[in-house]
A and B are shown apart, each in its own frame.
Chain A
Amino acid sequence: MNAGQQTTRRLVSRTGPSICRSCLDTLSRQPYSTAAAAAIQTEPQEALPITPPTPSPSYALHAGILVSRPPLLTRPPHPFESAYHLYQKRLNERLALPFTRYFYIKKNTPGDLEWKRKIKQRLTPARDIGRYRGYGDEAWNDEVLVGAQESEMAWQVERLLEDAERDGGEEEGKKGEGVQTVGGPKKLEREPVERPMPRVTEADEKGDVRSLGRLLQRSLYLVVKNKEGEWVFPQDRLIGKESLHNAAERVLVQSGGYNMNTWVVGNVPVGHYQHDFVPEHLAKSANPTELGLKTFFMKVRIMAGQADLKSNKLGLTDFKWLAKEEVQKTVDEKYWRSIKNMLAER
């Protein structure tokens, strides 16, 4: 270590215990010129007598972990949003150049015949905007009627699947059932199209708060029940000169076990909670200079696995995976006020 940094460190250490280690590092990274200037200015203070260190009132440092499972699904669109998107899709059908059919579909192939049948039914190349005519005398009739399903995502998905499953001949067959000849075209057998998984899972229906397969469109946070029976985020006291990042990794292992594939995001905390001991507790405690505890929360993402409290060393008895508003109902009011801003809305 060089002389300039030494000086700054010494200066800063004399200012008092209210500066954290990372701040101290930042301050000591000043250019030499400013550090030297500061040293010159405070030269007279160097003569002050050095008092023996006395334990000043302080807070115990805790590292907490905010384990979250990010949303896996897109959010449900607002009705206005989906109506707007449908409007834009229909507008596009009217304004865009016509679909270049011969580039994509060869003439006189089964695909070509299928295209002709289907375009007669739905009038547009787009398959998810309903029956819509962008040109002609009735082009003005482009409004969606009351109670129409066209703008809803579920309806559009159904239409896309229907289009993939059928070849467009069914409706015609239905109309002319009596006229159909015996030697008519054979019905095309198609593989059933794989349907998308439901957005609501089994865990949602059961209300299983321990499952990670719940509320797929929201962030879920791990909340645990500690020795005192309070619902909090997992946390533990820092040991020695442990950094917050290392402590977070330790707390992860000691609370949730090894069965979680996790990632501690960055080296800085995302929030903090301060707990002041009541005077009665202070009077009884062995360390009266410790006024309370400050918990700094590190952000952790869970990629796979599940929490397992069987062999936890923090005395935890239960856990839940909760969305933001459920966390509010579960935790203490004062605790909620300090943690609410680090939880994502979605």
Chain B
Amino acid sequence: MALRELPSRAASAVLHNSRPAVLALRPSGRRNASSEALRDVESSSSFEVPFVSDSLVKAFDPIERSKRRRLGKKPLPPSRYQFRPPKYYRGPLHPHQPPPSSDPVSREFIPGPFASPRLEQTYQSTIASDLMTLTYHHLPPGYRAPVQLQRLREWTGDSPYFKGRPLRPPRGGGGLRLLDPPRNFKNIPEITKVVVHSMVPEAQDNSAHLHVAGMIVQAITNVRAVTHKARHNVVGWGLREGKYVSVTADVEREDTFHFLSKLIDVVLPRIKEWKGVAGTTGDSSGNITFGLTPDVVAMFPEIEVNYDSYPPKMIPGCHITIQTTATNDRDARFLLQSVGLPFYGKLVD
């Protein structure tokens, strides 16, 4: 076998050495990081349309075509079975499983995204790289970070049940705080979610307040509002257990950017003598909260356009929590300042 291959191998070796220079110039199939990846994957794009004559395109009318096809024929029987996803999830072993929520037939499907928001593009093109430069901390080559000691406590004692038990949290309340990993391109803080919360204790006596609050929160956030009951009796705040008192909306993905840009570019600049968001806000893990009074909520363009449709004196104020991936308030504040939210007073980290 090897002997039989020998001549061909020798020939190929010779050929290899006497390769003409033209071959070196030929475009090679090798892919570099710099070469356009798509071009290598497929030569033809799915966006390309096969050539059709102009007259054919102009004459094409799908409705007319289907009518012509059905002309003089018996119509097909209406389909017996039309799929409807189950209303309730009855567990993983049930034969009738609901489709995933990304499927348009699912009851949980929410269409979108409808656009690529301007604020998101600004974040990607400008803000993210500036934050990276601002918060980067250089460590010299060969630097080894000090070993992080165990932050949870061991169970000490001679009880046999201590073996294999999960570690105890540290003494005192509060639990463990988030660690601040060194900044790199993968952990630049970004806005993940906004929660709009409006509490209306008057709704306990007159539910109209809750309906109006729900309509307003939905109108300004473009998200279905969720109502909440009071969990305890609080005499000081006039809360009674089990009564509906508040509405929230979790604004995520594309809506976040639309809501924030509306808030920052339209609503907040119109507040008279507004100092900004208090510098003391924040839960020390990168989430910033501030409140809006009823007259500010009324300045949202969606409310303003038909202000008269809302019952007078029922427009509620609201709290807005901006959740970020920052691990401390300082970085979260940096991010929100670059988005355009001003802070005032003493800054607490």
Kindly list chain B residues whose C-beta atoms are within 8 Å of the C-beta of A95.
104, 109, 111
B119-134 contacts to A (CB < 8 Å): 121-122, 124-126, 129-130, 133-134
Contact of B140 among A19, A70, A71, A143 (CB under 8 A): A19
B47 on the interface (CB 8 Å rule)?
A: yes
Give min CB distance, B130 to chain A, whole Å. 5
Q: Quick check: A81 and B111 within 8 Å, CB to CB?
A: no
Residue among B124, B136, B140, B146 with the highest chain A CB neighbour number at 10 A? B140
B138 on the interface (CB 8 Å rule)?
A: yes
Q: Quick check: B118 and A74 within 8 Å, CB to CB?
A: yes
Closest to B58 in A: A147
* Bound CA span A139–B29, Å: 47
Known contacts A74-B118, A88-B112; 17 additional CB pairs below 8 A are A26-B138, A26-B139, A34-B146, A71-B125, A74-B121, A79-B47, A92-B111, A103-B306, A103-B309, A104-B309, A141-B62, A145-B57, A265-B134, A266-B135, A270-B133, A299-B133, A344-B125
Contact of A74 among B116, B138, B305 (CB under 8 A): B116
Kindly list chain A residues whose C-beta atoms are within 8 Å of the C-beta of B143.
23, 26-27
Q: Quick check: A81 and B116 within 8 Å, CB to CB?
A: yes
- A143-185 interface mask toward B, CB cutoff 8 Å, 1 = contact, 0 = none? 1011100000000000000000000000000000000000000
Decide if the interface of chain A is mainly helix, strand, loop or mixed: loop
Q: Can you name 11 A-B residue pairings with CB atoms under 8 Å? A: A23-B138, A23-B139, A26-B138, A27-B143, A70-B122, A71-B121, A80-B47, A85-B113, A88-B111, A88-B112, A145-B60
Q: Quick check: B125 and A219 within 8 Å, CB to CB?
A: yes
A75 on the interface (CB 8 Å rule)?
A: yes
Known A80-B47, A85-B113, A91-B111; judge A22-B138 contact (CB<8 A).
yes
Give min CB distance, A75 to chain B, whole Å. 6
Closest to B127 in A: A70
* Bound CA span A104–B306, Å: 6
Q: Quick check: B111 and A85 within 8 Å, CB to CB?
A: no
B88 on the interface (CB 8 Å rule)?
A: no
Q: How many A residues touch the partner, as a band? A: 35 or more
B115 on the interface (CB 8 Å rule)?
A: yes
Q: Which 9 A-B pairs have the closest CB atoms?
A: A23-B140, A92-B111, A70-B126, A266-B133, A266-B134, A91-B111, A265-B133, A346-B125, A88-B111
Give min CB distance, B121 to chain A, whole Å. 5
Decide if the interface of chain B is mainly helix, strand, loop or mixed: loop
* Bound CA span A145–B122, Å: 33
How many of chain B's residues have a CB under 8 angstroms from any CB in A?
Answer: 35
Identify the A interface with B (CB < 8 A).
19-20, 22-23, 26-27, 31, 34, 70-71, 74-75, 77, 79-81, 85, 88-89, 91-92, 95-96, 103-104, 138, 141, 143, 145-147, 219, 265-266, 268, 270, 299, 301, 344, 346
B141-156 contacts to A (CB < 8 Å): 143, 146
Kindly list chain A residues whose C-beta atoms are within 8 Å of the C-beta of B47.
79-80
* Bound CA span A245–B95, Å: 66
Known A71-B125, A141-B62; judge A268-B133 contact (CB<8 A).
yes
Q: Quick check: B63 and A141 within 8 Å, CB to CB?
A: yes
B81 on the interface (CB 8 Å rule)?
A: no
Kindly list chain A residues whose C-beta atoms are within 8 Å of the C-beta of B113.
85, 88
Give min CB distance, B136 to chain A, whole Å. 5
Give min CB distance, B258 to chain A, whole Å. 13
Closest to B215 in A: A103
